[in-house]
Amino acid sequence: MIPAGPHEPPSRVALLDVGTNTASLSVLFADDLDRRRLRLAEDLHVITGLGRHRDPDGSLSEEGQRRAHVALGHFAGRLDTLGVSPDAVLGAATSATREAPNGRDFLDQVAERWGLRPAVIDGEEEAELVALAQERSFRRHLPLLVLDIGGGSTEMALRGRGRSDWAVSLPVGSVKLAERCGSDVEALDAAVAEALQEAPVVRERPTLVGVAGTVTTSLQVARGMATWDPEEVQGARMTRQEVDETRARLAALSPEERARVPGLHPGRADLIVAGMSLLLGVMDRIDAPDLLVSDRGVRFGLLWRRWPLAAVP
């Protein structure tokens, strides 16, 4: 576990998330007059497919590791250019590396080659960190039902002020669902319904917050946003009707056709229908008419756990 601490952050901080399908890096600079105020200086997301097409024993494939190394090497170069100290990098590695027999070996190679040392966190800790990030981002909307759809797992938490009533990690994500069901909507809906039986029942009406690539991509496609703009994405509200109609439109296309849809990265073309099926399953489970969209996932939870007084606009 990465230790917590109340001290002011350094002048430049980097947040790293090594996920099953995507590697993300956010670099923040502190205000010269108030070190607790941070502004986003760089925000990078690279589709690596690290946890895709694993070997028969569940190990990370050589190709997936190669793509991840390319992305992490690029991140290391950017950190050097931006003058971020290795001690100021907070990083987490999630489902793919914690499940794979060679996950730790891969991270040892990352440390040796690039000087990056993301910590492997378990599913419950991941859910808590994501929930903390959403509490800090959407305080006026509490309580929150936080939903983080990853490639290999899905984290959920019911978050109030300063604590989670519960936080769980389900062993299902867009990569696993797509490899099992493809883009068959009926099969996906059945698989999602089965997986969500393991989630706690939500009896109140919290604000649903959707986190990470499936949700942000759904918004981009629904709104025709061809380029990534974190200011337009963070805190946007998306209706269930938009999600449903966008999934139906994408499900009718082949992966090759989806890859040409504005706002949809080709690396998500064969995963997005599966991920959106998970999103719809949760929305229907709690009868949510809409959701808030967030790109501040586990890496921002790391930031606020280490430096609780930090402020990010």
Output the CATH code of domain 12-121+299-306: 3.30.420.40
Same-fold call for 12-121+299-306 versus 123-297: yes
> Are 217 and 272 contacting, i.e. CB atoms less than 8 angstroms apart?
yes
Give which of 218, 247, 239 is closest to 291, Cα–Cα.
Answer: 239
Report the Cα–Cα distance between both ends of the chain, in Å, rounded: 27
- Laid out side by side, the sheet with 144-149 consists of 164-170, 154-159, 144-149, 207-211, 290-294, 237-239
Helix (H, G, I), strand (E, B) or coil at 6: coil
Q: How many CA atoms lie within 13 A of 122 on its CB side?
A: 5
Task: State the fold for domain 123-297.
Answer: Nucleotidyltransferase; domain 5 (3.30.420)
What is the distance, to the nearest Å, from the Cα of residue 182 to the centroid of all Cα atoms in its chain? Answer: 21
CA distance 167 to 219: 25
Cross-strand partners of 42: 27
Residue with tokens 């069901």: 181
Written as tens digits, the pLDDT of the chain (313 aa) is 455 455 788 999 999 999 999 999 999 999 988 889 999 999 999 999 999 988 889 999 999 999 999 999 999 999 999 999 999 999 999 999 999 999 999 999 999 999 999 999 999 999 999 999 999 999 999 999 999 999 989 999 999 999 999 999 999 999 999 999 999 999 999 999 999 999 998 888 899 999 999 999 999 999 999 888 888 999 999 999 999 999 999 999 998 999 999 999 999 999 999 999 999 999 999 999 999 999 999 999 999 999 999 999 8
CA distance 38 to 34: 9
CA distance 109 to 64: 14
CA distance 69 to 114: 9
CA 186, 189, 191 angle in degrees (round to 5)? 110
pTM of the model: 0.92
Q: Domain ranges in the chain? A: 12-121+299-306, 123-297
Residue with tokens 């492997």: 120
